[in-house]
Amino acid sequence: MAGRELAIALVGATGTVGSQIAELIVQRNFPYSQLKLFARDSSDRVVEAGDRALPVHHFTGPDVLSTFDLAFLAIPNPTVRRIIAARPGPLLIDLSAATSPPDDRSLLLAPGLTGREQIARPERGRLLAVPHPAAQLIATILSVVGDDASAAASIMLSASAGGHESISELFQQSADVLNARLDADDKIQVAFNVFRSAETDQLCGAIAGQVQALLHKSEPILLNIVRVPAFHGSGVALFVRTTRPPENLSHSLRSAPGLIVTDNEDATGFVDAVGQEGAIARVGLNDTGATIWCTFDAARLAALTAVWIAEALTGISEFD
């Protein structure tokens, strides 16, 4: 694929991640001969990307992808599995992999953690997997900290991490709670609540496995995930014990890819990270290690990684 324009399909173009992929492709002047957007319910919808309004087509099934070189799959895992089983032909960049443990059929890729040679000649039909942004962030930090470190992390996910439906649910429940209309027996209360669920417990295992795969390590990281009643942005509190001198650790983290280290306590909230092309981090150091608080825009980071993979395939990425 290096050095030529690609025919690109984007499935799930109206979702929180898919719409940002379309925006990034246009903003970065990605070299394509064709860019076609798909969604389950197109309904004459368009996606705004810079100064362009891109039409969205109805996704009828895997066969519509047969004429493309590359397809972004920003859709739920069950649909992705049906596309994989159909073997439509193009290289597939799977964003649903963020919620699943790594497997042998997928190649988990992330900037700063994946060498260019791993992407240079992928097999046609091979699945290129985008990790969960939290997994990518944790792995990036631990790659800087070193092999001697032990770590644990608590991940806080906002509604936007679950897509448009989760955002709508939080909005509706917030209004219902404020107006004393919420039925307590209806479902888990997401408004004004911090909670774990079976879904977050499963995600813990997936993210832990992705961190191990990205770092090529056998020792798992201790993780906890909770949902928080914020509409956008997410956070990771990472606790690291290491024998490295604290001042060396702080310097190394400032040069880590995708990490915006700040000393300003007032600039590390969820809202500060929305739209940023990296995670905002504040580092607290002591004699035994560090506490690292990071906020990030999960949808934005996932879209950035997906487009970076496509850029690496064509040889236009400047990131090694």
Token representation of residue 26: 């246009």
Token representation of residue 145: 């900290």
Overall pTM > 0.85: yes
Token representation of residue 183: 């039925």
Instruction: Find the mean pLDDT for residues 296-301.
Output: 94
Domain ranges of the chain: 6-131+301-314, 134-298
Q: Which residues contact 3 (CB under 8 A, 6 or more apart)?
A: 314, 315
Instruction: Find the mean pLDDT for residues 194-216.
Output: 92
pLDDT (tens digit per residue) in 105-162:
888 999 989 876 777 666 555 689 999 999 999 999 998 887 677 889 999 999 988 8
* Percent of the chain that is helix, strand, coil (3-state, to 5): 35, 25, 40
pLDDT of residue 265: 80
CA 117, 257, 222, 103 torsion: positive or negative? negative
**CATH domain 6-131+301-314 topology:** Rossmann fold (3.40.50)
pLDDT of residue 264: 86
Instruction: Find the mean pLDDT for residues 257-263.
Output: 90
**CATH domain 134-298 topology:** Dihydrodipicolinate Reductase; domain 2 (3.30.360)
pLDDT band, very low/low/confident/very high, at 318 (cuts 50, 70, 90): very low
Q: Which helix (H) or strand (E) holds 39?
A: strand 32-39
> Nearest Cα to 157, choosing from 201, 221, 111, 123?
201
pLDDT (tens digit per residue) in 93-103:
999 999 999 98
Rounded CA-CA distance 149/215 in Å is: 13
Q: Find the largest Cα–Cα distance for the chain.
A: 59
What separation in angstroms does the CA of 320 have from each of 112, 115, 117, 155, 266? 6, 6, 10, 27, 32
> Nearest Cα to 155, choosing from 210, 217, 214?
210
pLDDT band, very low/low/confident/very high, at 165 (cuts 50, 70, 90): confident
Average pLDDT, the chain: 88
